[in-house]
Chain A
Amino acid sequence: MDKQKKNSPFRIFLRKFLKQRLAVFAFGLVIMILLVGIFGPLFAPYDPHRPVTAQYADKGIDVDQLTSSTVQLEGRLSNGEVVDQSELPQLQTETENRRIASIRRTQSGVQISANTSGATEAVIESGDVSSVAEILVEGEVPLDDVEPIVSQIIIAQPEEAFSIGDEYQINFEALKTDGSEITTIEELRAYTEEKYGADEEEDTSGFQSGSSENEDSASFQLRSLTEDVVTVNEQGVVQFEEEGEGIVQIQSGDVSSVVQFQVGNEQVEPILTGIYLESTTVELTDAYKHQTPSSMHIFGTDHQNRDILSRVIHGTKETLLIGFVSVAIGTVIGTVLGLLAGYYGGWLDSLVTRMTDVLLAFPGILLAIAVIAFLGAGLTNIIFAVAVFTIPVFIRIVRASTLSLKEMTYVEAAKSIGVPNTVIIFRHIFPGTLSVVMVYLTMRIGVAILIGAALSFLGLGGDITAPEWGSMLSAAKDNSSNIFHATFFPGLAIVITVLSFNIFGDGLRDALDPKLKE
């Protein structure tokens, strides 16, 4: 009993198969893919048909946190005191390009929200002083070559009082967003002309709505706001002319600061000399489209902001359906025709063989396209198209093995005792062809998935919004051709699936019938 068990054909097969570690691994993968195909939709983190931003609320995720960031700001007074945002007079906030980001005031600072990807600047202005924050919204456009800009100017505030006739050299630091500083007037003038000169040209052609349109801000200024008290020359030397309060402003485009002088003995009211931002660069992600892979969306999101991971998981079912159903149809029809042609021979055989030859002369994909051309686009038609090009393969192999099995002594014996042909075919010949059919079945599923995906990639699957791997790639090609993650992951899913089936099929072939090996 024990001995017989060891030598049963299934045992031998199992032993041979388990020896091929790669094939066993591939088999494991195939099982996993099947499980994902069946149960995947239960685990998919998001609804594959709707934008994720519409689903965040259901999942208790705060959208604001992803797309906006709060920047604390404070004002410094000329006497060195610090005031917070609520005490700043005439606070105005604006972004250069509202399509990219918008800004609004909050309790403790300003909140900047991303609208779409790109780079822009936020101007925060209070009276004569203003600062600028650079806003970078990561998205489909790579932002690596964004120039650092001057964000704030800090002018050294003299504490002593001056008397008429004194001269004073202004010292300042213009802080750039990359951390560097400009400290000389010439450099700052050159920088301003380069930056805002270029900006003005853009303004005439584009649709930007920004404060740079007004003459005043689009230039470098070093001027006295109280001409009768102090004057300032081009080199930044301040002359004190009268007693009273003197204010000098340095402006570089949208950024400006002032310095206050007390001339004479009369005390002056402290004024706001500068706005200081907690962070000068605000980096945000565009969460409305093409989110890059992150912990929330492992595969990122697509052009309609749908979660790619969920779509890949949902797509498994359809892809496997195309592969299995089409190959099953092809196998059944092909096997029956192959058995009949091989067993009966004659005109039936030559007709079937001729048909097979013609069909096999065409490359599979074109044959399938031709079938779709007849039937029209659609998922069922894709399945049928793939089945059509699977049929001849099975006819050929089943017919070949039927021809050799027909000559077996046991078939002859069955015939001689008068067993009907149908019984001979299905009880004595068909089981003999089964191992070859099984091998080809697994091998063809990979090919069928490939062709099916190609057909839906070509837009022949009917519904192009369906979460199917081929149509996902097709949509990615049209809408996000420069986004890596949108094109990468659906394709990777196809490759892994097809590769698993192919390696599994190879292993099955080696274990079942070593003669089949090329």
Chain B
Amino acid sequence: MIPILFIITIIAFLFVHLTPGDPIRIMYGAEIDQETYEQMREREGFNDPLVVQYGRYMYNMAIQGDFGQSYRTRSDVSEEVLRRFGYTFILTILSMFWAILIGVTVGIISATKRNSILDRLGMISTITALSIPEFWFGLMMMQIFAVQFGWFPTSGSGTWLHLILPSLTLGFGVAATIVRFTRSSVLEVLREDYVRTARAKGQKESVVIWSHVLRNALIPVVTMAGLQFGFLIGGAVVVEQVFAWPGLGSYLIDGILTRDYPVIQALILLFSFQFLLINLLVDISYGFLNPQIRYE
């Protein structure tokens, strides 16, 4: 994980140097004269060797938590990131809640009532759900529940009502994945010997399902849901744009569209770090949840 993180910092650092367009020109406008240009270049430290620049970049970032200043607004990127992080965080947490609630429920129903109409309906819905782009689903939710019924505000942030539609939209795609996974996991456990034994000794079906099947079947589901967290953050970029949610995703897109390199740099790093962290946490939690793995 550490070497990967190291490589990512190098990529993020080189980003400013590899992309077309001179950062000084972007910062101060294309019309500045040659002398000021040289001065600015010297002041911003672009004339130093790349290694020195990289060292300074790493020092500022790792020791001082300084991600530089936005080219456009001249505000501190780290402050802006901190301010927006909360928005994205609460959005993804609530989306995960919806995704697990819907996904696990539908998945269990599908598996226990296998080949029934409910099961078929559930499976068709998940295939369809996986083919629906999140942004369109969000726009449709907005049309129906915000524009037609007026139950929720169309976009922006402020109250908890603003959070409902974006989080449902974001959770929806992941819910479909969780449904499929839960279903196959439950079906697999249902074939186990101990389930047959429990049934053979005359245990009630509800007890079989609740204490024998679900306990074992949901372990991999938790892991999978954890891994999906990373994908939620990816989806959040799109959903935030749909609902004008002031999170990290919209900051990233604004940064790309206005070529605000420090912003892009910081966010690429931050997102990469998040994924690596999530993957690590999932690996660790897997050991806790499933003791069989720990002793292997």
Interface residues in chain A, defined as those with a beta carbon under 8 Å from any beta carbon in chain B: 358, 361-366, 369-370, 372-374, 376-377, 446, 450, 453-454, 457-460, 470, 473, 476-477, 481-482, 484, 487-488, 490-491, 494-495, 498-499, 502-503, 506, 518
Q: A490-B136, A498-B132 are in contact. List 20 more A-B contacts (CB 8 A).
A: A361-B230, A365-B237, A366-B271, A372-B256, A373-B15, A377-B256, A446-B131, A450-B133, A454-B238, A457-B238, A470-B135, A473-B136, A477-B242, A481-B142, A481-B147, A484-B147, A487-B143, A488-B140, A495-B132, A506-B127
In the bound complex, residues from chain B placing their C-beta under 8 Å from that of A450 are 131, 133
1/0 contact string of B240-283 vs chain A (CB within 8 Å) = 01100000000011011100000010001001100110010000
Q: Is the interface of B mostly helix, strand, loop or mixed?
A: helix
Of chain A, the residue at the smallest CB distance from B272 is: A362
Contact of A457 among B15, B20, B241 (CB under 8 A): B241
**A363 x B130 contact (CB < 8 A):** no
Is B40 an interface residue when CB atoms closer than 8 A count as contact? no
**B139 x A477 contact (CB < 8 A):** yes
**What CA separation (Å) do A518 and B143 show in the bound complex?**
36
**A454 x B133 contact (CB < 8 A):** yes
Q: A374-B19, A477-B139 are in contact. Are A499 and B127 (CB under 8 A)?
A: yes
Interface residues in chain B, defined as those with a beta carbon under 8 Å from any beta carbon in chain A: 4, 7, 15, 18-20, 127-128, 130-136, 139-140, 142-143, 147, 154-155, 180, 184, 230-231, 233-235, 237-238, 241-242, 252-253, 255-257, 264, 268, 271-272, 275-276, 279
Q: How many whole Å from B162's CB to the nearest CB in chain A? A: 15
In the bound complex, residues from chain A placing their C-beta under 8 Å from that of B275 are 361-363
In the bound complex, residues from chain A placing their C-beta under 8 Å from that of B132 are 491, 495, 498
Of chain B, the residue at the smallest CB distance from A498 is: B131
Q: Can you sample 5 A-B contacts with CB below 8 Å? A: A369-B253, A450-B133, A453-B133, A488-B143, A502-B127
Q: How many whole Å from A180's CB to the nearest CB in chain B? A: 29
Q: How many whole Å from A352's CB to the nearest CB in chain B? A: 15
Q: Is the interface of A mostly helix, strand, loop or mixed?
A: helix
In the bound complex, residues from chain A placing their C-beta under 8 Å from that of B233 are 363, 366
Q: A481-B147, A491-B136, A502-B127 are in contact. Are A365 and B142 (CB under 8 A)?
A: no
**What CA separation (Å) do A420 and B67 show in the bound complex?**
53
**A481 x B154 contact (CB < 8 A):** yes
**What CA separation (Å) do A476 and B253 show in the bound complex?**
18
**A374 x B140 contact (CB < 8 A):** no
**What CA separation (Å) do A487 and B155 show in the bound complex?**
15
**What CA separation (Å) do A495 and B134 show in the bound complex?**
11
In the bound complex, residues from chain B placing their C-beta under 8 Å from that of A460 are 253, 256-257
**What CA separation (Å) do A502 and B132 show in the bound complex?**
11
Q: How many whole Å from B204's CB to the nearest CB in chain A? A: 30
Q: How many whole Å from B248's CB to the nearest CB in chain A? A: 11
**What CA separation (Å) do A370 and B272 show in the bound complex?**
11
**A369 x B256 contact (CB < 8 A):** yes
Q: How many whole Å from B258's CB to the nearest CB in chain A? A: 11
Closest 3 pairs between A and B when the two form their complex, measured CB to CB: A363-B234, A491-B136, A499-B131
In the bound complex, residues from chain A placing their C-beta under 8 Å from that of B134 are 454
Q: How many whole Å from B121's CB to the nearest CB in chain A? A: 14
Question: Which of B7, B234, B255 neighbours the largest number of chain A CB atoms within 10 Å of its CB?
Answer: B234
